[in-house]
C-alpha cells in the first residue's frame, strides 16, 4: 500500500522548518502540488513558498484564492514561549493564543467555506501532547494546544456531513528549531527520554508520516481524532519533580 496525493493541492502552514517542512516534502514526494505558507521563505525544489503572516486572516484567504481548490491543509504553524505561570505576560499569552489557536480557527473557517462548496477535503491540525498535559512553564502554549481540541471536535462534527475530515496529530518532543535548546541540554533530555518507552526524541519525518496518513484516503473513516506521535510518552507518567528543588521522603516528593 502506498499513500499518494497525485493531482492534489496540499497546503502546509509553518512549513519553513521542522515538522511542516518534513510534511511538505513527503506530500510532494507522494505526488502532491505542495505549498508552504510561512512568515519565512523556503527554497525547496517542487514546493511553492508563500510568505504570509498567518495571523492575518485576509492574507491567508488571498493565498487560498490564488491556489484554487485545496484538497489537503495541514495547519501546523506554532510558537512556544516558555514562562512560569506567574511570570507569563499578557504579551506572551496573547501572542501564543493568536498564532496557535485563533489563527488556526480562522484558517479552518476559510477552508470550510471553500471545501464545503465542493463537498470534500482533509485537514490535519498539529496539536501536541501538551493539548492534554500540564507541562510546567508552558501555560500559554498548553492552553493554546488544549483549545485546538475544541476546534478539532466541533469542526469534525460540523464538516463530516460534507465529506470533510478534520484530524490532529499530537507530537511529543521532536527535534526542530523549536526544541533545539532542549536537545542541546543533556541534563534535560537524559531524564526526559529516560521516561519515554522508546528512549529518545522524535524526528520531524516521524510526525510527517502520521500527518500524511491522516490527510490521505487511507484514513477515510477517521475524523475528529488525535494521534499521538510521542515515543510512548502519553502511555507513561510525565515527570515534574526532577526539575524542582525537592526530595523524595516517606513515599512522596516534597519541596525543600
Ligand atoms: N517540536 C516539538 O517537539 C513539537 C511538539 C509538539 C507540537 N509541536 C508543534 O508542531 C508545530 C511545528 O513546530 P516545529 O517544532 O516544526 O517548529 P518550527 O519552529 O520549525 O516550525 C514552526 C513554524 O511556524 C512558523 N510560524 C510561526 N508563527 C507564524 C506566523 N505568525 N506566520 C507564519 N508562520 C509562522 C515559523 O516561522 C516556523 O517555520 C507547531 O505547531 C508546534 O507547536 C512541536
C-alpha 175 – ligand 1 centre gap (Å)? 11
Give the domain extent around 214: 9-255
Is the Cβ atom of 20 under 6 angstroms away from ligand 1?
A: yes
User: 176 C-alpha vs ligand 1 centroid, how far in Å?
Assistant: 9
Mind spelling out the 3-state secondary structure of 59-113? Answer: HHHHHHHHHCCCCEEEECCCCCCCECHHHCCHHHHHHHHHHHHHHHHHHHHHHHH
Number of folded domains that form the chain? 1
Q: What percent of the chain has pLDDT over 70?
A: 93
Closest ligand 1 atom to Cα of 21: 16
Residue 167 forms part of a structural domain:
yes
Residue 2 resides in a domain? no
Pairing assessment for the beta strands 72-75 and 33-38 based on DSSP bridges = unpaired
28 domain-assigned: yes
Higher-scoring residue by pLDDT: 188, 214: 214
Mean pLDDT to the nearest integer, 104-127: 98
Residue 178 CA to ligand 1 center (angstroms) comes to: 7
pLDDT at 187: 79
- Is 3 part of any domain? no
| Ligand 1 pocket check for 54: Cβ under 6 Å | yes
State which ligand 1 atom lies nearest to the alpha carbon of 173. 3
62: in domain: yes
143 lines ligand 1 (CB under 6 A): no
pTM score of the predicted model:
0.93
The upper half-sphere exposure of residue 136, i.e. CA atoms within 13 Å in the direction of its Cβ, equals 7
Which of these is catalytic: 141, 162, 192, 221?
141
For the segment 125-154, the average pLDDT, to the nearest whole number, is 97
Q: Does 212 map to a domain?
A: yes
For residue 16, give the CATH number of its domain: 3.40.50.720
Does 1 map to a domain? no
Amino acid at each position: 500500500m502506498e499513500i499518494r496525493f497525485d493531482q492534489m493541492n496540499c497546503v502546509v502552514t509553518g512549513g519553513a522548518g521542522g515538522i511542516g517542512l518534513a510534511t511538505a516534502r513527503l506530500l510532494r514526494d507522494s505526488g502532491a502540488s505542495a505549498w508552504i505558507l510561512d512568515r519565512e521563505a523556503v527554497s525547496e525544489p517542487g514546493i511553492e513558498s508563500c510568505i504570509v503572516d498567518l495571523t492575518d486572516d485576509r492574507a491567508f484567504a488571498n493565498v487560498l484564492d490564488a491556489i484554487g481548490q485545496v484538497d489537503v491543509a495541514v495547519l501546523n504553524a506554532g510558537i512556544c514561549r516558555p514562562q512560569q505561570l506567574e511570570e507569563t505576560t499578557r504579551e506572551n499569552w496573547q501572542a501564543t493564543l493568536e498564532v496557535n489557536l485563533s489563527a488556526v480557527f480562522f484558517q479552518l473557517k476559510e477552508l470550510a467555506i471553500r471545501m464545503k462548496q465542493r463537498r470534500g477535503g482533509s485537514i490535519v491540525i498539529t496539536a501536541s501532547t501538551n493539548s492534554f498535559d500540564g507541562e510546567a512553564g508552558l501555560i500559554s502554549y498548553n492552553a493554546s494546544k488544549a483549545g485546538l481540541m475544541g476546534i478539532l471536535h466541533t469542526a469534525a462534527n460540523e464538516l463530516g456531513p460534507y465529506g470533510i475530515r478534520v484530524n490532529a496529530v499530537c507530537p511529543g518532543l521532536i527535534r526542530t528549531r523549536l526544541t533545539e535548546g532542549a536537545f542541546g541540554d543533556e541534563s534535560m533530555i537524559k531524564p526526559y527520554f529516560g521516561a519515554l518507552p522508546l528512549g529518545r526524541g522524535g524526528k520531524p519525518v516521524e510526525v510527517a508520516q502520521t500527518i500524511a496518513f491522516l490527510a490521505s484516503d487511507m484514513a477515510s473513516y477517521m475524523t475528529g481524532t488525535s494521534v499521538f506521535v510521542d515515543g510512548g510518552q502519553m502511555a507513561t507518567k510525565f515527570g515534574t519533580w526532577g526539575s524542582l528543588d525537592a526530595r523524595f521522603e516517606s513515599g512522596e516528593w516534597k519541596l525543600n
